[in-house]
Amino acid sequence: MESNKYSLNKAESSSLESIINSLDWDKISLIPAITQDLKNRILMLGYMSKDSLILSLQSGIMHYFSRSKNRIWKKGEESGNTQKIKEIYIDCDNDALLFKVEQNGVACHTGEYSCFFKKIGLASLDINKPNSSDKIDSPYHTLDILYHILQDRKNAPATTSYTASLYAKGENAICKKIVEEAGEFCFALKDKNEEEIIYECSDLIYHTLVGLSFRNISPSRVMQELQRRFSISGIEEKNARKK
């Protein structure tokens, strides 16, 4: 959990501290936050730490705490689809928040306007999804979208989803597939066939992401680690790991 980096200025201190202190942080360290647009359509459910709530109140823009990335994130930091806060409500138990926001663009990383676009038919208990043509093109990174799809497959039956079948077989099966795909990628490199190299690399990345998803590790954390290494040489980084 991140420390409180965001200090309150004197003018805001009294009112913001009143809001922060009204919440029951002793019960739960991350407060659920339901977000609606100005037409009362539910957009998403996120979580807030004290720091992300303070930053949201100070900036007027929604900031959440990502449990998978283990950090505060500003809504729209990559996509530009920000949420401007208009109204805030606290529930009767003081352990949940409701925000009404002005949504810029779409709320869901898949390109859907709302994260709640999968409707369960009560008669058949089938999950119905909108046609792909209904989606707005998502500016999010392909790896991030694929990761969320893989996370969604955890709820799918193993008989109808290849990804779900890997999850059901467990880490040994997942690791075996990663090793197999790495070998096939290497053979493609040696054969110097560009189409095969791209195809096998895609398989390797997919199965690697399945492994990350199995452990609930977002690919953005891998990207952060790669970015961290920009400032040091590969030799220095490798030597540091040996210590």
In tens, the pLDDT along 112-161 reads 889 998 888 777 667 666 654 445 455 456 788 888 889 888 888 888 89
Residues 116 and 194 in one domain: no
pTM, 2 dp: 0.58
Whether residues 116 and 166 share a domain: the answer is no
Same domain, 104 and 218: no
Q: Compute the mean pLDDT over every residue in the chain, rounded to the nearest whole number.
A: 84
Last residue of a domain, one of 124, 140, 156: 140
Would you state the pLDDT for residue 139?
47
- 142-152 helix and 194-214 helix, angle to the nearest 10 degrees: 50
Residues 114 and 25 in one domain: yes
| Domains in the chain, number | 2
Q: Which band of pLDDT confidence, cut at 50, 70 and 90, is reported for residue 9? A: low
pLDDT in tens, 189-231: 999 899 999 999 999 999 999 999 999 888 878 887 888 888 7
Burial 62-74 (b: 16+ CB within 10 A, else e): bbbbeebeebbbb
Token readout for 153 is 């497959």
**How far is the C-alpha of 193 from the C-alpha of 187, rounded, in Å?**
10
Instruction: Report the 10 Å Cβ neighbour count for 215.
Output: 8
Task: Please give the pLDDT value at position 5.
Answer: 44
Please, which pLDDT band fits residue 2 given cuts at 50, 70 and 90? Answer: very low
34, amino acid identity: I
For residue 220, what pLDDT is reported?
A: 79
5-43 in b/e form (b: 16+ CB < 10 A) is ebebeeeeeeebeeeeeebeeeeeebbebbbbbeeeeeb
223 and 111 within one domain: no
Q: What integer is the mean pLDDT of 39-50?
A: 95
> Do residue 19 and residue 48 come from a single domain?
yes
Which residue type does 161 have? S
Residue range 15-19: mean pLDDT, rounded: 80
User: What is the model's pLDDT at position 70?
Assistant: 84
Radius of gyration, alpha carbons of the chain: 22
The CA distance from 54 to 151, in Å, is 29
**Amino acid (1-letter code) at residue 138:** S
Q: What is the pLDDT of residue 133?
A: 44
Residue ending a domain, among 140, 163, 197, is 140
Backbone angles phi, psi at 42, to 5 degrees: -70, 125
Are 159 and 114 within one domain?
A: no
Residues 126 and 178 in one domain: no
Cβ contacts of residue 141 below 8 Å, gap of 6+?
78
At which of 88, 105, 140 does a domain end?
Answer: 140
Q: Would you state the pLDDT for residue 12?
A: 57
Name the residue range of residue 87's domain: 1-140
The CATH number of whichever domain residue 160 belongs to comes to 1.10.287.1080
What's the CATH code of the domain at 40? Answer: 3.10.20.810
Q: Which residues contact 55 (CB under 8 A, 6 or more apart)?
A: 6, 63, 72, 74
pLDDT at site 146: 87
What pLDDT score does 1 carry? Answer: 36
Instruction: Report the range of poorest mean pLDDT among 24-28, 57-61, 122-126.
Output: 122-126
- Three-class DSSP category at 189: helix
**Residue 175: enclosing H or E segment and its boundaries?**
helix 171-191
Q: Do both 111 and 36 map to the same domain?
A: yes
For residue 223, what pLDDT is reported? 82
Q: Based on the domain organization, do 185 and 79 belong to the same domain?
A: no
What confidence category does residue 64 fall into, taking pLDDT thresholds of 50, 70 and 90? very high
169 and 92 in a single domain? The answer is no
Same domain, 133 and 153: no
Among 39-48, 64-73, 95-104, 167-176, which stretch is predicted with the lowest mean pLDDT? 64-73
